[in-house]
Copies of this chain bind each other. A is one copy, B any other.
Amino acid sequence: MDETAPQKGTVTQRAIEQIKGMIAEGRLEPGQRLPTERDLAVQLGISRSSMREAIRALTVLGVLEARHGSGIYVTQLEAGDLLETFGVVADLSRGPRLVELLEVRRILESTATALAAARITPDQLAEVEKHLTAMNATDDPEEILAHDLAFHREIAAAACNDTMAAILEGLSSRTFRARVWRGYQEEGAFARTRREHAAIHRALVARDPEAARAAAAAHVGEVEQWLRAQLGG
């Protein structure tokens, strides 16, 4: 019979699963501090090097947080923490997958905008308007892009679904949009973008979910169709 460990996979992989399991079972609470690397290594019967690799892996996944000189802590396990790595998908995708990502974004963004139309608060709406006007007041592509991102981020937040907002954040990551928009903007899409943003804003003010859904879907769909055409020929 096997005694303690069935020796499946690398010791590091096993350590990752064990720590993940401890959190899933509730033995490690969000924000709680873990034992030191040295102690953890002893507890799991592995070397500190392997334990460090496991900790590093869970760190990039947004599950753990290492503070130099202080200790290792479990993150708050919020959607933003865990879905931060979602951005790498967008950053490393090319060709057809970019279209797929935009399709996913269109579906989620349109729904999120519809929800926002029903739930947005006056303060949030004012914030949306701030970015809308700021975006219309400049010609600097960098600044436009920044306010564009903030515009959609504020709307996503108003939808009251942090998970959805975090996914959309990854699908709109700066490097991702910069790559797609580099070409899109060159075709004089600024005016069109401003019109579409205005339409989304009108739907939010009117608290009309269906109009908001349509406006958001059309907005993302524009870019999606353009990109599809770029790849097709």
* Interface membership of chain A positions 100-125, coded 1 if the CB is closer than 8 angstroms to chain B and 0 otherwise: 11011001100100000000000000
Min C-beta distance of A27 to chain B, whole Å: 13
A23 contacts B by Cβ under 8 Å:
yes
Interface residues of A, count at CB 8 A: 39
Q: Which of A117-158 contact B (CB under 8 A)?
A: none
Would A103 and B60 be within 8 Å (CB), given that A88-B20, A92-B77 are in contact? no
**Complex interface: stretch among A49-57, A185-193, A200-208, A225-233:** A49-57
Contacts of A93 in B (CB 8 A): 77, 82
> Is there an interface contact between A79 and B63, defined as CB atoms closer than 8 Å?
no
Contact residues in B for A108 (Cβ distance below 8 Å): 104, 107-108
Is A1 positioned at the interface, with any CB of B under 8 Å from its CB?
A: no
Q: Which one of B61, B100, B104, B161 lies within 8 Å of A100 (CB-CB)?
A: B161
Within A14-34, the residues touching B (CB, 8 Å) are 16, 20, 23-24
Task: State the Cβ distance, A196 to closest chain B Cβ, in Å.
Answer: 21
A residues sitting closer than 8 Å to B (CB atoms) are 12, 16, 20, 23-24, 49, 52-53, 56-57, 59-61, 63, 77, 79, 82-83, 85-86, 88-89, 91-93, 97, 100-101, 103-104, 107-108, 111, 161-164, 167, 175
A-B pairs with lowest CB-CB distance, top 3: A100-B163, A53-B56, A57-B60
